[in-house]
Structure 1
């Protein structure tokens, strides 16, 4: 067994404790006071001097005896506004849940911090540990970049890892090139004039306008985007009215655009704006398109991907590292790092139904359960990848 895997396995109980503490106390968004305090306290116990560079954005560094480049490791810390429905003894009871595994990510990076301290003499340069808020809201990475997370010292390469429910435990998945979609979250506000349902001619029906907008939006991807360009437009929220016999004055729609090409995403957003305003005008109302948040497509640096996944094979074996070129339509705000510095984003299998009937539920599900046995693997991957990259890229 690789030395790093042996060391990681020996601290498995510590990493599980990190994970369960975080899982029981989830916080959502860009302000994570309990999570922030806990992570900084644990880093200090390990001999680090963590800094909060923006609200709930933590950075800690560790240097070896030999000078060299800087390799960044990033974990996200925020949870989701989902009420947990698992039977875990450490389940959350505050109405929020780590249903995307960010508790696993933070615990693995804390484990890596411990491994890096144990192997500090092997570090040829600097490893920068980054704990980030609000990945789910797509603001966290941008705020940390604005706060200078890539400076002091200047970062030469960056890596993030995400657990993946439904993939066999300890299997590493790595997309080459653009493998994860960009996303625009948007709101459409449709305004009409409320009136009694028995006399619709006395008002302007915003539900009718919104319905026509909804149907028209589906035409963009089917008739205005090439079939060779992957894109999805989804309306997940459609809200208006309080009574069956009253036409309301306003309807709110919210949705997302997903695309693997930044320009395609921008084209779709502009076409949505055209359709929204023109449709509302056609039916005597008004409507506005508002962008809530956005993240670009994530592009892995292929040279970095091939090099670092080779190091991962030392830990999990040749057959457990899978490189692929097809892209998925999920989104990830680590993408913002990939436009500033050579970056690598990998996924670590967290269990299938065949392994355990509790595993394999969809990400973001209120019943998702991750296999904690992968925690030492994640910690070892972080620490070993950083040390080996620095050693071979002086």
Structure 2
């Protein structure tokens, strides 16, 4: 009689795939691409999936592949992002990028783990109680990727009953799985304020309208929105991360630009803050004889993990990683993730996978997006096993739809 497959069997099989998964990660890492259009990354992933016998579909700038065991009508979606960040990498890795972009958020790790899961799912195809849909998504960083794939029909033919995603987390012990209940990550709105004045010589400011002065007053005014207009028990952050104006020290320019983010756990509060930014910018600019144009560049809503699915996912993760390696959390952070858009369409579980601390290795533990961040590659097989086991287990669960 054939022995029943266990989570430890899946983890052992993932460890056997270790070198292949590492090769995937390093290949993707060497040639990072930013945004919605990722031709080299997508071509590589499509090629590797085809080697495993998958048919791939280009969809919404990303890739979709599916594998079915027993055709039960059940379907679960596994998602990995594959875009990178603009900036020059300073990790010192032998395979670091040199093209002005960098995988400083671990999306190369995510894509490699899902490719590893694709191999494992092929191995266990006969034991799948339904269909697993593999989604490789672009432009998570710009908050357009999930929305583009949703609009293009990623939840159709077949429609999944649940979606699962993993994200590596620098600064968390390697192999620790963080399972957040409820609203686990903040929503984020990216905004731009373009201030228009009238350029003139720096020796005669009275002949122009100084957009830098206006933008500085707007910047200071925005700092008061949270402290004086948002209840203290409602987490909110307004950050201006870009302030750009002028080219010469003795010339007042025509324009100044501020760009920043709004982060909250409440979609209505985010909308209110966006409207207040518009009102403040326009009023301040008018007071100083200029004008201001406020634009919303992109947004992701707060990420809501489905309570029932997350409770089950945590139990299944314990079977793979061990009971002492899974941490359940009732409070999340102010970081954002565009997988959140999926969480308003179907039950979702978004888990964090620890990828190293400085105590483990001095190279590990730097903040996400830091140009010198280094992730522990030892967690890659665990991530592939988690994807595989969670998908297989979810296909065996009946839910009220």
**TM-score by shorter chain over 0.5:** yes
| Mapped partners of 2:124, 2:73: distance in 1 | 16
Are 1:48 and 2:54 matched, yes or no? Answer: yes
For residues 18 and 93 of structure 1, what CA distance do their matches in structure 2 show?
18
Partner of 2:4: none
Alignment of 1:215-234 (within 5 A): 215-234=220-239
CA distance in 1, matches of 2:32, 2:231: 41
Post-superposition shift, 1:65? 2.3
Q: 1:89 Cα deviation (Å)?
A: 1.2
Distance 1:244 1:148 in 2: 51
CA displacement at 1:50 relative to structure 2: 0.8
Contact 1:230–1:259 at 8 Å: present in 2 too? yes
Deviations 1:2-53 (A, max 9, x none): 1001100111011001101111111111101111110001001111101112
Q: What are the equivalent positions in structure 2 for 1:153-192 lying under 5 Å apart?
A: 153-192=158-197
Kindly indicate whether the alpha-carbon contact (under 8 Å) linking 1:12 and 1:375 is maintained by their aligned counterparts in 2: yes
SS in 1 for 2:396: helix
Q: Is the 8 A contact 1:217 1:233 kept in 2?
A: yes
Q: CA deviation at 1:300?
A: 0.5
**1:21 maps to which residue?**
27
Whole-Å Cα distance in 2 between the matches of residues 352 and 299 of structure 1?
27
Hey, what's the Cα distance between the residues in 1 that align with 2:99 and 2:271?
38
Q: Is the counterpart of residue 32 in structure 1 residue 38 in structure 2?
A: yes
d(CA) in 1 for partners of 2:60, 2:188: 24
Residues of 2 paired with 1:308 and 1:86: CA distance? 33
TM-score (norm 2): 0.97
Among candidates 141, 148, 153, match of residue 136 of structure 1: 141
Q: What SS does the corresponding residue of 2:372 show, helix, strand or coil?
A: coil
CA distance in 2, matches of 1:145, 1:265: 22
Q: How many residues align?
A: 393
The answer for the alignment partner of 2:266 in structure 1 is 261
1:196 and 2:217 correspond: no
* C-alpha RMSD of matched pairs (Å): 1.0
Unaligned runs of 5+ in 2: 1-6
Distance apart, 1:299 and its partner CA: 0.5
Partner of 2:318: 313
Matches of 2:149 and 2:35, distance apart in 1 = 14
Judge conservation of contact 1:260–1:327 (CA < 8 Å) in 2: no
